[in-house]
Structure 1
């Protein structure tokens, strides 16, 4: 039976396993597995089945009862695209590949902005979340997608007068607490000097330790995101999560990765929320600096970011729709497309 036909047969749900188990990375779970589980829940098709995920994911599955959710305490691992239709892994997911996914009738995205509304984060300025990472990627010992110290310096200097900036890099404190880490191991990255030069910038992990009051870190993070409409992120699962909060302005530094071919322009970045984020993609430092200019020309109106004339021009220049194919990335295999697979054409 083909994967599409097999998927269609599930809805009577008779072929679903008793435990719907997710195996894989954080970002892919957010935009492939979790929307299917939420659809099953909303459609009344989940029944007595349990959902198995990783430690720390409880807040994101807020709609499940405690006896429906299993949190396994083990590291995440990457599952290649050609393996995801294996019945023992992702065989029951209608949209197993987040890189080529289109809107699917058998998935629904929770309204995380509404769910995580709180009064915990209240400041005199609008919030801006800067999400960084510094870890091994694609079986390499060298980080690829990350903000450098110089780029952080430029962001903080330029935008701290407009925003209360919260800087987030998981593992910055030297430990990973409250959730299962991805298989990509962290590498030492010392932002201390730039943070000291900009004491106005809040360190997320430190803020959670001091003011979290025992709240789970993913609960705290999602409450922060629900209070925020301005995000700057590097490529990856962190950017995926930012895209799940409606009405935002989202700038992504994308040095390498296949999302640029489809996901940003026609995939879940455009349909997971309503209204979708105003998304800007920067492939180099010059475009990143250009993108910062949109944040100085942004305002919030009725729960969504509005841009002035200059900000609109910048957002148009960096729009995902301006990314064009250069060759055909091999999405059906484990091969990661090379940087030359995509490019920007203005």
Structure 2
């Protein structure tokens, strides 16, 4: 029955989006099916409303932030959330869950396929916000501990394998030098590129950019998130908890394609996302104008090149 329904929904997607590439219609089909799947829970969600929903996910971090976490928060607000299950060090994201289990030590990108338990489960030209609620990470984690003389500018960089290829979306040392040199007078810059020992990794191997030592030597005024963690590890639950505390006090972000960009989009303000042309489904479905701003109301500026990123920095920062 599921197979027949998926075939039918592919035809619907092909008719509605005839101008879109054939292979991309599978994403639309899957989202259609995931929304239809919610019909099974109408009585439980809107009438009996007992705490029944168990949300279990260990796919990609980006998918969890964009689709799963807001779905879980909706069930919390609805009074129907029973339990959440995710990867190691995710409790801080699910602060609202009375029963959260960190069951998985590694994320598997394959776990996101055929995951039809949430109304939105993959890329799409449109999203359902019926059972999707903004998670107030900023207001919940705003604090007086990580406050500086100047407003914070977070550079959330990454340097890892993307789509089984060498790194594509990242800031190299010359880029970092230009950003820091230009903006250090107006902002307290906090640089964040987690090590593989600090987060739960998936199929994207983290590589060495050798920028941490370079920043310490050439721009000691920049605060490294890794150093903050060493200084405050006894006062925070884990690296993710520290990220949330820092991000909650920040209104200006530079982030990279993927989970890095999704997390920075949760905290309002302005988020410049570097996502080069030709990489990622977000481009095809215009998601930097839909799901990303929806995460918090942040102003999302999609830089398709490093040159465009610097143009945005000049205009907005």
Q: TM-score range by the shorter chain?
A: 0.7 to 0.9
Matched-pair contact (CA < 8 Å) for 1:233–1:253? yes
Unaligned ranges ≥5, structure 2: 6-32, 46-50
Q: Which of these residues, 112, 116, 127, is aligned with residue 91 of structure 1?
A: 116
The structure 2 residue matched to 1:62, chosen from 64, 74, 95, is 95
Q: Which residue of 2 aligns with 1:41?
A: 76
Measure the CA separation in 1 of the matches of 2:43 and 2:61: 28
Q: Which has the higher helix share?
A: 2
Where 1:108 maps in the other structure, the secondary structure is: coil
Matched, 1:159 2:207: no
Gaps of 5+ in 1: 85-89, 297-346
- Per the alignment, residue 114 of structure 1 pairs with 139
Q: What SS is found at the alignment partner of 1:125?
A: coil
Deviations 1:75-109 (A, max 9, x none): 1111387x33xxxxx22111111454524211112
Query: Is contact 1:127–1:227 with CA below 8 Å preserved after alignment?
Result: yes
- In 2, Cα distance between equivalents of 1:31 and 1:180: 17
Aligned to 1:235: 257
Question: Where does 1:300-339 land on structure 2 (aligned, <5 Å)?
Answer: none
1:230 Cα shift? 0.3
Whole-angstrom CA distance in 1 between matches of 2:217 and 2:181: 12
User: SS at 1:58's partner residue?
Assistant: coil
Match of 2:179, SS? Answer: helix
- Note if 1:181 corresponds to 2:201: yes
Scaled by the length of structure 2, what TM-score is found? 0.81
- Aligned-pair CA distance for 1:7: 1.0
Mean CA deviation greater in 185-194 or 95-104: 95-104
**RMSD of aligned residue pairs (Cα, Å):** 2.1
Q: Distance in 2 between matches of 1:269 and 1:287?
A: 19
CA contact (8 A) 1:230 1:249 kept: yes
1:169 aligns to what?
193
| Structure 1 position 264, deviation (Å) | 3.7
Matched, 1:133 2:158: yes
* Cα distance between partner residues in 2 of 1:260 and 1:249: 19
* Structure 2 counterpart of 1:6: 37
Q: Secondary structure at the match of 1:251?
A: strand
Distance 1:185 1:13, change over 3 A: farther
After superposition, give the CA deviation of every residue in 1:98-138 in whole Å (9 maximum; x if it has no partner). Answer: 45452421111211111101111111110000001111111
Of 57, 67, 77, the residue aligned with 1:32 is: 67
1:284 aligns to 2:305 (yes or no): yes
For the structure 1 residues 31 and 263, does the alpha-carbon distance in structure 2 shift closer, same or farther, using more than 3 Å as the test? farther
Give 1:262 deviation, angstroms.
Answer: 3.1
Distance 1:148 1:288 in 2: 13
What is the TM-score when the length of structure 1 is the normalising length?
Answer: 0.75
CA contact (8 A) 1:103 1:271 kept: no
Q: Distance in 1 between matches of 2:315 and 2:86?
A: 37
Q: Report the Cα distance in structure 2 between the residues aligned to 1:19 and 1:270, rounded to whole angstroms.
A: 27
Tell me the secondary structure at the aligned position of residue 155 of structure 2.
strand
Mapped to 2, the partners of 1:32 and 1:23 lie a distance apart of 12
Give 1:292 shift. 1.5
Encode CA deviations 1:248-307: one digit per residue, 9 max, x unaligned: 11111112222123354442112222xx222212122221221111344xxxxxxxxxxx
8 Å CA contact 1:36–1:108 kept in 2: the answer is yes
Distance 1:22 1:204 in 2: 27
